[in-house]
Amino acid sequence: MTHPAIEQGEGIVRLTPTWVPRSFCVPGRRIKLHPDDVYAFGAHRGGIDERWFSSTTRADNGPLTTPDEGLSWVVFGDEPRPERIRLSDLVQEAGPELLGAELWDAYHAWPIYSKFFDNKHALPHHLHQMERHAANVGAAQKPESYFFPRQLNNYGADYPYTFFGLEPGTTKDQVRRCLERWNEGDNGILDLSRAYRLEVGTGWYVPAGLLHAPGSLCTYEPQWASDVFAFFQSLVDNRPMDWSLVVKNVPAEKASDLDYIVSMVDWDANVVADLRARYFRLPRPARPVPEMNDAGYHEDYISYDNPYFGAKELTVFPGRTTTIYDAGAYGMITMQGHGRMGAWEVEAPTLIRFGELTSDEFFVSAAAARAGVKISNPSRTEPLVMLKHYALQPAKRA
């Protein structure tokens, strides 16, 4: 029996905004959250600098993490008091219908999520654990990708450059010595890396095990369904990082084992000479451009060439209606404009209060995606722009 949430939207469900604070970040204030609500979790939790999309993954923010932090909720029924269900619970109730048989049979879960990451400063050089290390703490690996949306980057904040990887020729002993100097101030890990200027409208792929110090552009980040990380940089903006942020996802008996911590670095991924060529991502048209233009839209792949997930940027031209077909289920966030998507009105809000409902985020079931989603843009002047994130079918994970 079809769940009422799926039935109401004819295969497309509406999601509520999901906000996540980080105690070690300074919000860049570009994700449309009302300025009075930046510290809605309390100043002791840090400011809200992330919004998560299509998430069935609980945020891992230490012992003060709230029970549903990071989880997306589906709303359905009549306003002003619609009903709600966690997306994770809806997936368990209606997995094959919502995700499609292939994804459901492979994972019995929605295996990815996406987010806006909006930090005013650079983050410490860190990595997300590979599968074998994440499994040691009962978690999953976390590859991720970046895209820098034009709509959220009217300014670059303090440091729009990202360090990636390690210089070719760097040794494991050099990285180990950086960890040994953790409590001496700047441990020098960035001396072993190089920074790249971030470009709005482009992106990067960041495999698990790749060290990276994200810069200060506001970032759209499709990623695997996990929240593991390990810091390798001891001092950022003259602020010391606690050792607990190194070993947050390290087995307790390995918390002082520097060789184990260094082993979390994917050496082959980090010291390649062609790092930019391997991981930088320019948008790629999803179909022949003249064909898309004639149909009233343009769509680019913005996350691709990895075995886990993908993402697209869809623009429907002013005054046009088109039908978009996709191979499987996806989550989406409206970036600009207003219009209609299937049974729903969609719009990009200007300002959002904490706890307020919006009409900018949805999850499209596999059946609806394959049948084609009709999207209309009634504006005479403004494009309707959406970002779409999806898990790759297991058969494509070669």
DSSP per position, 259-288: HHHHHTS-HHHHS-TTHHHHHEE--EESS-
The structure tokens listed for 60 are 């891992």
Can the peptide bond before residue 96 be classed as cis, meaning omega within 30 degrees of 0?
Answer: no
What pLDDT, on a 0 to 100 scale, did the predictor assign at position 133? 98
pLDDT per residue over 361-383, tens digit each? 999 999 999 999 999 999 999 99
Same fold, 22-54+110-281 and 290-396: yes
Taking alpha carbons only, the member of 31, 34, 6 closest to residue 98 is 6
pLDDT band at 30; cut points 50, 70, 90:
very high
Inform me whether the pLDDT recorded for 139 exceeds 50. Answer: yes
Per-residue pLDDT, averaged over 138-161, amounts to 97
Among the residue ranges 62-66, 292-296, 384-388, the one predicted with the least confidence is 62-66
Give the C-alpha separation, 358 to 352, whole Å.
8
Domain residue ranges in the chain:
22-54+110-281, 290-396
* Long-range contacts of the stretch 346-351 (C-beta < 8 A, 24+): 346/384, 346/386, 348/151, 348/385, 349/32, 350/32, 351/32, 351/33, 351/34
DSSP state of 381: S
The stretch 216-234 carries a mean pLDDT of 97
Mean per-residue pLDDT, 207-227: 97
Percentage of the residues of the chain whose pLDDT score is greater than 70? 99
Q: What is the DSSP secondary structure assignment for residue 380, as one 8-state letter?
A: S
pLDDT at 394 over 80: no
The β-bridge relationship of strands 373-376 and 321-324 is: antiparallel
Outline where 155-274 has alpha helix (H). 172-180, 258-263, 267-270
Cα–Cα distance between 88 and 60 in angstroms, integer? 16
CATH architecture of the domain covering 290-396: Sandwich (2.60)
Task: Tell me how far the alpha carbon of residue 42 is from its chain's centroid.
Answer: 24
Q: 95-118: buried (b, 16+ CB within 10 Å) or exposed (e) per residue? A: bebbbbebbbeebebbbbbbbbbb
- What average pLDDT does the structure give for the chain? 96
Tell me the mean pLDDT in the region 218-242.
96
Only one residue has tokens 């359905």, namely 76
Q: Which among 369, 365, 305 has a CA at the least distance from the CA of 3?
A: 365
> Taking 60 as the threshold, does the pLDDT of residue 397 lie above it?
no
Write b or e for each residue in 55-74: b if 16 or more Cβ atoms lie within 10 A of its Cβ, otherwise e: bbbbbebeeebeeebbbbbb
pLDDT-derived band at 272 (thresholds 50, 70, 90) equals very high
10 Å Cβ neighbour count for 166? Answer: 25
Distance from the Cα of residue 373 to its chain's centroid: 23
**Burial label, 189 (beta-carbon count in 10 A; 0-12, 13-18, 19+):** buried
Residue 224 has pLDDT above 50, yes or no: yes
Report residue 398's pLDDT band, with 50, 70 and 90 as the boundaries.
Answer: very low
CA nearest neighbour of 56 among 75, 72, 67: 72
DSSP per-residue codes, 102-169: HHHHHHSS--EEEEEE-BSSPPPSEE---HHHHHTTT-----EEEE--GGG-SS--S--EEEES--TT
pLDDT digits (tens, 9 = 90+) for 174-214: 999 999 999 999 999 999 999 999 999 999 999 999 999 99
Q: Which CATH class is domain 22-54+110-281?
A: mainly beta
Q: How far apart are CA 99 and CA 91, in angstroms?
A: 8
